[in-house]
Structure 1
Amino acid sequence: MAQNGSNGALSTNGVTTGIAQVPTTTKGAPQNLDEKMPNPGLPRANKAVSAEKPSGGPSPQDRTVLQQHVDFFDFDKDGILYPQDTFNGFHKIGFNIFLSAFAVLVIHGTFSYPSQDGWFPDPFFSVKINNIHKCKHGSDSESYDTEGRFVPEKAEEVFAKYDKGNKGGLYYKDILTMINGNRNIFDPVGWTAEFLEWSALWLIAADDKGLLPKEAVRAQYDGSLFYQLARKTEARRAAVKRDTSKVQ
């Protein structure tokens, strides 16, 4: 339990976690997650878990969490994402054709080269899923480590710091505060990627009140959110098509 000491220091279970003279260290008291999940700081190779869902969701044993994050877009399961795969995937989860095309430019323009097996770029701008861990960028929450595993402690830290009022999610202003707080020096690629990724997630998964639920954030880490969104989008578009045909 977090407590304030007589000198203004913040402590959790006897460990000093914040210093009054350094105000930034008192923002968002770190959580003691040991009672909610085993070894919260230990990276999970194939499970994206949370305090509310400590076992995560159904996950393949042979895919890292970061690989699972992009598997939805690999429709033919050949282990390679081509620009058309990304376009189709974004459109299936609810983005219009313009935002889907923009996503292709950003994702394949940025991540294609580092995902290749050798030094030479792919003229088709593909992304190799087996090398997706090489595409991890800076200025992020560090919920993925550099091997593509999931670090629960870091994911929980996002909400401990930026979910003001314990709403169970993030408003867009909370997300912007987080992005600013995670910025590393001289890292424009990381700043831009973090802004676009979280903005896209908020656009597609926030509720009617503009709140991005914590479970939606967890589910996008292992990619299960995209399958859910695709089903909802397909049902919504089918309903619109039926209504249009009735009018005609």
Structure 2
Amino acid sequence: MANPTKTQGAQNDIVTVIPEVPITKERKPFRASASYSKLIDPGAPRANIAASQEAPHGTKDRNWASQHKDQTVLQQHCDFFDPDQDGIIYPHDTFSGFYKLGFGFFLSLLAVFIIHANFSYPTLDTFIPDPLFRVYIKNIHKDKHGSGTGVYDNEGRFVPQKFEDIFSKYADGQDFISSWQLWYMLKGQRLISDPIGWFAAFFEWLATFIMLWPDDGKLKKEDIRAIYDGSIFYTVAARQAKQKAGRSGQDF
């Protein structure tokens, strides 16, 4: 049986901040503590759950985690955009999905061009481009780009440490991130000579902000976690449909 004192001592011996290098003090990584013991080994990628301090077992609403246990978290993120569950996202699926999320006609159309022009080819099993620009979910891990948060690993798994780092490094450990902190994070995660990654990260987080559109300009941590596993898309779509039905009812 492990000695708790030794374990704690070893943890305290880990140096994460060097005074002579200010950026290490400015962006402190997440450190697991006894108060959050439910999140075990945060550095280990989770294949099929988006785990955080507050949700160590992933999304429980609608039995999401158990119903999607055979998908990686990145595949779960795409689930909403595959309504017929055939494992293929067509351009019209993307348009319909974004439209249901409240992006309107032109933004939904723009999303189709950006996503399918860039993310279709890597998911193909051949070297021949797909004239229909389909995205194959089984190979969605090949669409991972640079200059992101690193929350998804190269196989599409979810890394809790990287998720918690977003808020530890850029949001002072709070359970939300403001628009300015988000901009600072995008700058902080950029890699050299990676314009595709810069734009992809900017597009993804801009879409996130537009979809959630918080009145106070702060994106909640739990909402962001639910975006990673895609569960929040169904919640937002249902809310949009209800609001649309309400507006239609007022016309009579």
Per the TM superposition, whether the score is higher than 0.5 is yes
The equivalent residue for 1:198 is: 205
User: 1:82 touches 1:125 (CA, 8 Å); kept in 2?
Assistant: yes
Counterpart CA distance in 2 for 1:175 and 1:119 is 37
Range with greater deviation from structure 2 (184-193 or 50-59): 50-59
Could you tell me which runs of 5 or more consecutive residues in structure 1 were left unpaired when the two chains were aligned. Answer: 1-11
Counterpart CA distance in 2 for 1:199 and 1:174 is 13
How far residue 56 of structure 1 moved from its aligned partner, in angstroms, is 0.8
> Is it true that 1:64 corresponds to 2:72 in the alignment?
yes
The equivalent residue for 1:30 is: 29
Q: How does 1:82-97 map to 2 (within 5 A)?
A: 82-97=90-105
Could you tell me which runs of 5 or more consecutive residues in structure 2 were left unpaired when the two chains were aligned. Answer: 1-10
Counterpart CA distance in 1 for 2:146 and 2:33 is 27
The one-letter code sitting in structure 1 at the alignment partner of 2:23 is T
Q: Which has the higher contact order (CA 8 A, sep 6+)?
A: 2
Counterpart CA distance in 2 for 1:204 and 1:130 is 26
The equivalent residue for 2:14 is: 15
The one-letter code sitting in structure 2 at the alignment partner of 1:222 is D
| TM-score, normalised via structure 2 length | 0.90
> Is it true that 1:180 corresponds to 2:179 in the alignment?
no
State the secondary structure of the residue aligned to 1:72: helix
How far residue 49 of structure 1 moved from its aligned partner, in angstroms, is 1.0
> Is it true that 1:140 corresponds to 2:142 in the alignment?
no
RMSD of equivalent CA atoms: 1.4
Q: How does 1:208-223 map to 2 (within 5 A)?
A: 208-223=215-230
Q: Name segments (4+ residues, structure 1) moved above 6 Å.
A: none
Counterpart CA distance in 1 for 2:204 and 2:228 is 12
How far residue 195 of structure 1 moved from its aligned partner, in angstroms, is 0.4
The equivalent residue for 1:171 is: 178
State the secondary structure of the residue aligned to 1:15: coil
How far residue 105 of structure 1 moved from its aligned partner, in angstroms, is 0.6
User: 1:183 touches 1:191 (CA, 8 Å); kept in 2?
Assistant: yes
Q: Choose from 117, 120, 128 the match for 2:128.
A: 120
How far residue 167 of structure 1 moved from its aligned partner, in angstroms, is 4.0
User: 1:206 touches 1:213 (CA, 8 Å); kept in 2?
Assistant: no
Counterpart CA distance in 2 for 1:52 and 1:163 is 16
> Is it true that 1:227 corresponds to 2:234 in the alignment?
yes
| TM-score, normalised via structure 1 length | 0.91
How far residue 25 of structure 1 moved from its aligned partner, in angstroms, is 0.9
* CA distances 1:77-105 after superposition (whole Å, capped 9, x unpaired): 11000100000000111111111001001
The equivalent residue for 1:48 is: 50
The equivalent residue for 1:238 is: 245
User: 2:90 touches 2:134 (CA, 8 Å); kept in 1?
Assistant: yes
The equivalent residue for 2:4 is: none
User: 2:101 touches 2:233 (CA, 8 Å); kept in 1?
Assistant: yes
Q: Choose from 150, 158, 162 the match for 2:166.
A: 158
State the secondary structure of the residue aligned to 1:212: strand
